[in-house]
């Protein structure tokens, strides 16, 4: 969240003769004394000055005393007291339009600091919209968990700004993603990416948003671009890259990526990775490569499941003899006899069909 900086604005009393004549002289002197003492940091003296006078109920003097009391309490960090006093002055109906607008804004700021976020909006209602007010509204809606309200205001706040603080870009990415507005989140992430083209995390964030939107091919292209720019990928990053290629209905692309990674040593050529590569080639209908890899795995490990996969791949290619031989090895290695027999029967039936008919 973008931090709200609370700015204390000291109220100003007009020193004009007309203003002085409109209120009781003793109240006017007390207000001026309190203001001077507050500005000098002599808060106790300011309090004494305000307590030294009384004002008739429902009078301008009473409203101004409440107002002075509220700003004095704010200056001392007494938030609740400040809200109470300023709210009474505001509701008196005695303040000028300028004073009313100033107090409503300051009451909104005080309410925000007191975590009374709904009241923030109540105090800001009807005020002329400024960047300061928009920022306060955005943060209050965010604290209320109403990102659907915060995001349109943030778009208005950021519109036509020549430079945007990075915290705002991050907010727009995160808020839009939380609202499942993935295309909008991507738009803001791309702006963020332009500032961090050398950071893998920025590319990964864009790819993640594309993946959330179901745009697997775009996510793959994003990560491949990062990879081509020389980014340093960890094994888990490489695994994700391969998964994205497979998820984007491009198993051939995933197989090619994985082959390159194995050949370059970026991925360890262990049994699990070799099996994954064989599966990707199988999915890509590159049966010759898949058969070669399953044959190597079967010979290296002696495991029946690899012999069985080899048999399936060979039979799918129409290589009946090789398939039957692999089925025999799978059966000897302990693969379920019923599974083996089903594939054997199918292969033999195909052989019979392909035999030339006797004249």
Same-domain pairing of 49 and 120 = yes
Same domain assignment for residues 33 and 112 = yes
In a domain, 216, yes or no: yes
pLDDT, tens only, 137-150: 999 999 999 999 99
What is the percent of the chain where pLDDT is above 70? 92
Query: Are residues 119 and 148 both part of a single domain?
Result: no
Burial annotation 270-288 (CB, 10 A radius, 16+ → b, else e): eeebbbbbbbbbbbbebbe
Range of the domain at 79: 1-127
**Do 188 and 203 fall into the same domain?**
no
Q: Is residue 174 part of a domain?
A: yes
Cβ(189)–Cβ(173) below 8 Å: yes
What mean pLDDT do residues 9-25 have?
Answer: 51
Query: Are 56 and 120 members of one domain?
Result: yes
Q: What is the CATH number of the domain that holds 112?
A: 1.25.40
Q: Do residue 51 and residue 109 come from a single domain?
A: yes
Let me know whether 182 and 232 are in one domain: no
Say yes or no: 98 and 135 in one domain.
no
Whether 87 and 110 map to the same domain: the answer is yes
Same domain, 17 and 75: yes
For residues 91 and 120, membership in a common domain is answered with yes
Q: Note the pLDDT tens digit of each residue in 273-314.
A: 899 899 989 988 999 999 999 999 999 999 999 999 999 999
Q: In the predicted model, what is the mean pLDDT of the chain?
A: 87
Domain identity same for 255 and 332: no
- pTM for the model stands at 0.69
Give me the number of domains the chain comprises.
Answer: 4
């Amino acid at each position: 969240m973008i931090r709200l900086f609370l700015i204390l604005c000291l109220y100003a009393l007009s020193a004009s003769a007309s203003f002085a004549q409109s209120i009781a002289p003793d109240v006017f002197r007390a207000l001026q004394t309190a203001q001077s003492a507050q500005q000098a940091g002599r808060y106790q003296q300011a309090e004494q000055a305000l307590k030294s006078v009384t004002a008739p109920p429902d009078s301008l003097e009473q409203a101004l005393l409440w107002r002075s009391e509220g700003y004095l309490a704010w200056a001392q960090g007494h938030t609740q007291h400040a809200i109470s006093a300023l709210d009474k002055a505001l509701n008196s109906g005695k303040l000028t339009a300028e004073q009313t607008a100033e107090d409503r804004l300051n009451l909104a700021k005080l309410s925000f600091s007191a975590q009374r976020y709904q009241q923030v909006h109540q105090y800001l209602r009807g005020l002329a919209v400024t960047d300061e007010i928009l920022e306060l509204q955005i943060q209050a809606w965010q604290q209320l968990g109403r990102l659907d309200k915060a995001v349109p205001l943030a778009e208005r706040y950021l519109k036509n700004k020549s430079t945007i603080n990075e915290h705002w870009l991050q907010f727009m990415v995160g808020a839009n993603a939380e609202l499942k507005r993935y295309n909008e989140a991507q738009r803001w992430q791309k702006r963020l990416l332009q500032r961090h083209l050398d950071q893998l995390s920025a590319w990964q964030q864009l790819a993640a948003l594309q993946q959330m939107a179901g745009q697997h091919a775009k996510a793959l292209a994003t990560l491949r671009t990062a990879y081509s720019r020389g980014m340093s990928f960890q094994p888990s990053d490489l695994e994700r890259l391969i998964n994205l290629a497979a998820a984007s209905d491009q198993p051939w692309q995933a197989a090619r990526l994985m082959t390159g990674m194995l050949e370059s040593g970026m991925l360890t050529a262990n049994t699990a990775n070799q099996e994954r590569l064989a599966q990707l080639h199988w999915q890509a209908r590159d049966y010759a490569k898949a058969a070669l890899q399953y044959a190597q795995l079967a010979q290296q490990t002696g495991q029946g499941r690899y012999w069985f996969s080899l048999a399936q791949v060979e039979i799918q290619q129409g290589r009946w003899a090789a398939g039957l031989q692999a089925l025999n090895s799978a059966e000897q290695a302990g693969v379920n006899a019923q599974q083996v027999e089903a594939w054997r029967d199918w292969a033999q039936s195909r052989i019979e069909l392909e035999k030339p008919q006797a004249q």
